[in-house]
Amino acid sequence: MAMTVPPEETAWLLHHVLGFTAMEEADTAAILDEATKTAEGVLGPLDRVGDKVGSTWVDGDVVPPPGFTEAFRAYAEAGWIGIAADEAHGGQGLSHVIALAAFEPVSSANMGFGLCPMLTQDAIALLETHGTADQKSRLLAPMITGAWTGTMCLTEPQSGSDLSGVRSRAVPEGEGYRISGTKIFITWGEHPMTENILHMVLARLPDAPAGSAGISLFAVPKLLADGSRNGVSCLSIEHKLGIHASPTCVMQFDGALGELVGPPHRGLPSMFAMMNAARLGVAIQGVASAERAFRRAVDFAVVRAQGGGPIVAHPDVRRMLWTMRALALGGRLLALHAAMESDTARGQLLIPVAKSWCTDAGVEAASLGVQVHGGMGFVEETGAAQHLRDARISPIYEGTNGIQAITVLKRGLLRDQGAAVTELLTAIQAADFASPALLHAAQTAAAAAAWLRQAEPRAAEAGAAAFLQVIGSVTAGWLCAKVEARADAPPAARAAAGVFLDQLLPRVHSYAATISAPSAAMIDDRLIA
């Protein structure tokens, strides 16, 4: 049973639609094929036990589900963690876009497992960008080989997404710092799968100014260089709706020895190297959720008989299946395009768009997957419910989708007078394959942007989520139009692109309508009765 998108389809999209030229198409397809084999052959069979058994907490230790430790070793030894890391430190030096594309089948096959190498890769990206030469020489190699994993320690009990309220402290001691405080929602914060774990921790120095400008970033290992245990412990793990295999830890730092990464009081800008990489990874998780839910739903629909034949023949079931396929295709194109443009103004605009649009699409597709199964979808044994439970976290972590929408509004639209949005929409309208429907959608998006630039701040914020959906949908539509215009496109991808343009692109107009007519209750700051 296929769990993932065909690797040759993604390779074709990268080279013929997104303009990827870092390697030959055959080489891209070969890499993605190997990633798919690992995902479906090694990780997929562990997905069910990961959900049913989950990770467990025993006296401060975390026990992963059966088979996960062996699977992680196999994954690391195959070189997947260091696929995009610097060759000077043992990585393969391939494009981050290829690494992102290769991560999709991993997340499709086993989302809970995939979070561990994803965050390790993101910690590698952070150190490659902001670490000193000495830190790179000591810390990168063990993470690239998979001897260590990495975490992101931001959130605290009293401070969720608003990091200005971080209270964890860092006191200088010799050449290092003693870190104290409690961090929550730390993915794979404790486990026995590797010899060490490197925590990337936000904390305040004694002379730190108030607010987010006073946060510094520290690298804090679970074990010190002499093998002794650092002052880091896991107090508990959360009992969650989904991704049961992935332990979500409460981590306590009791004078743990750490080292400063980047300049003092500049931890949040440094951490953005890790956060942006993670947001693209989460975007691909949304795509993977949609694709996996689609694959399972198709397998069910072709054998489930109702009304004289398999339900896959019914137009309404086909509507749901093709919607799922189109959501996955549009999200894949959007996320990979954002990754390719990550160093440009367009990329900075599209990273939060991709994170939100793709994860919302993943939840929608997973919900449709349950619906295709009918009553059997509500029964855990079919597996459809797990996809919905697992997918539901993705619009929440790595910055809620509402926060991403405010980022798009304030940084992507208002801060530069709409330059990045204008450039994107101009490129869409100038495409020689742009249909009247795509041109109309781009014009609607431009009108929505113009309205937001003139709106009162609360009215603009009330429309931010809808505007993000507008930009995500019109960008994905533009990329789908490029697929549909190519006669040599993989047939299923070309059909899904047509469904996106016919059925999903029109959503732009309904989203835009809500932006320019905000409900008074959304803007009124009185409490909701």
Catalytic residues: 398
Please list the residues that pair with 220 across neighbouring strands: 199
What is the spatial distance between Cα 60 and Cα 222, in angstroms, rounded to a whole number? 13
Choose among 23, 67, 59: nearest CA to 42.
67
Q: If we measure between CA atoms, which residue out of 51, 45, 36, 52 comes closest to residue 67? A: 45
Tell me, rounded to whole angstroms, the distance of Cα 174 from its chain centroid. 38
Tokens of 497: 């692109």
Instruction: Decide the pairing of beta strands 196-203 and 148-153.
Output: parallel
Nearest alpha carbon to residue 67 among 37, 118, 110: 110
User: Which helix or strand (DSSP H or E) is residue 361 part of?
Assistant: helix 345-373
Amino acid at 140: L
User: What is the 8-class DSSP label of residue 343?
Assistant: T
Q: How far is CA 237 from CA 47, 188, 203, in A?
A: 19, 10, 22
Q: Locate tokens 């249909």: which residue?
A: 435
Q: Is-contact 464 405, C-beta < 8 A?
A: yes
Contact between residue 395 and residue 363 where contact means Cβ atoms under 8 Å apart? yes
- Do 82 and 90 form a contact (C-beta atoms < 8 A)? yes
- Cβ partners under 8 Å of residue 118, min gap 6: 103, 278, 281
CB 245 within 8 A of CB 64: yes
Torsional sign, CA 4, 5, 11, 17: negative
Contact 282, 398 (CB under 8 A): yes
What is the rounded CA–CA span in Å between residue 20 and residue 49? 37
Describe the crossing of helices 96-109 and 25-38 by its angle, rounded to 10 degrees.
30
Backbone angles phi, psi at 258, to 5 degrees: -140, 175
